[in-house]
Structure 1
């Protein structure tokens, strides 16, 4: 049968990898986004996420922020591990709307951050925007990025010193900078005091600082206290 005059092919769907530690969420998201994107891979933890991204080389990765595995860096660790793949862009999607989660993953190199309350239509639009190089944030979260990075573009917000720290080390560092004692940090993060001491030692070593006072000033200069 001859093709109809003037007929055009539908645009190709954006190739997407879905990363989340809950299988039921991945399945639900895949179903909801059917016909809007082409899901070419999935991952459930840091290691499987990195492997899936490298195997599929998608245009956009829908990335949960809190992931098990790896060295404890969560979604931000996945982004950092894939920095040598400039064609892959990351869009964080999480239940968390905490400033530290937003700042951590954007500083690592993600192009956007939305919460899981987003509608399917809005998420499809966000994927398209990120795929074309734009930055996308849920309205409330955009303020966190501006507070943390001023008017700098998302591509310029990485901090190589902060990138040395795992997500847990960043949490401990922030509480130290706020004046918490080791015992208070242990209670807040459900850790042992010994573990807190180990994290603090690693933070000081990685940042080449010698005291809590220096660490506090370091955090204040970056407005991440």
Structure 2
């Protein structure tokens, strides 16, 4: 089953350096992924993502006509089911946090090996957050800092005990099937709980749901 998922996962590579872009695309194809498009900037990423609707976009942070943050937002506007994995030479705090805030699921630096990249793309396709060691702590620390900041906004929506329990597992990166096994529930029941939390918390996807859990201390 894992091999089948790997073969059918579609990927778009966005990078303004042709040699690097082609090398990443070739490496992913060698690992069994279906590279359906490449792009060199924000506008080309938007256009092509809107057509091919890739499962995963591997995104650089420095593009000729903008940033990876802008391109991430553009891609998700036209293909909401796509997940974005940043692959960048930069490990600067601001770059990492801006990418995540724009909707990126994970962030790797370009020193990652071919195997690490393939594993990260596979995990991203499954909805799991992937970060170069050290960067995950940075992101979690930032969201915990935000969570401790006094909030004058509306009160937290009420979740049932079961919804809260499911949310904790989502924050830890578990899939619906894994959560179902942990809680001895059906896969459909877990998905129903996830969709219910989407509606109550007014979030659009699992990444935003996990972010909510982190911000409210539910990932421990």
Shared fold by TM > 0.5?
Answer: yes
What SS does structure 2 have at the residue aligned with 1:139? coil
Extract structure 1 runs of 4+ deviating beyond 4 A.
Answer: 151-154
Name the structure 2 match of 1:146: 140
Name the structure 1 match of 2:47: 51
Task: Name the CA distance, whole Å, in 1 between partners of 2:70 and 2:114.
Answer: 26
Cα deviation, 1:74-131, whole Å, max 9, x if unaligned, reads 1111221233422100000000010000000100000000011111111111111110
Task: Name the CA distance, whole Å, in 1 between partners of 2:75 and 2:29.
Answer: 26
Offset at residue 27 of structure 1 (A): 1.2
Offset at residue 68 of structure 1 (A): 2.2
Whether 2:23 is the aligned partner of 1:28: answer: yes
Cα RMSD (Å) = 2.3
Task: Name the CA distance, whole Å, in 2 between partners of 1:24 and 1:58.
Answer: 21
Max Rg structure = 1
8 Å CA contact retained: 2:45, 2:75: no
Name the structure 2 match of 1:78: 71
What SS does structure 2 have at the residue aligned with 1:114? strand
TM value normalised by structure 1: 0.61
Task: Name the CA distance, whole Å, in 1 between partners of 2:138 and 2:74.
Answer: 24
Q: Which blocks of at least 5 consecutive residues in structure 2 are unaligned?
A: 148-170, 172-206, 213-220
| Residues 213-224 of structure 1 aligned to structure 2 (within 5 Å) | none
What SS does structure 1 have at the residue aligned with 2:80? coil
Q: Aligned residues, how many?
A: 148
More helix by share: 2
Whether 2:118 is the aligned partner of 1:65: answer: no
What SS does structure 2 have at the residue aligned with 1:82? helix
8 Å CA contact retained: 2:55, 2:82: yes
Whether 2:8 is the aligned partner of 1:13: answer: yes
Q: Which blocks of at least 5 consecutive residues in structure 1 are unaligned?
A: 1-7, 159-225
Name the structure 1 match of 2:100: 106
Offset at residue 15 of structure 1 (A): 0.5
What SS does structure 1 have at the residue aligned with 2:76? coil
TM value normalised by structure 2: 0.62
Offset at residue 13 of structure 1 (A): 3.1
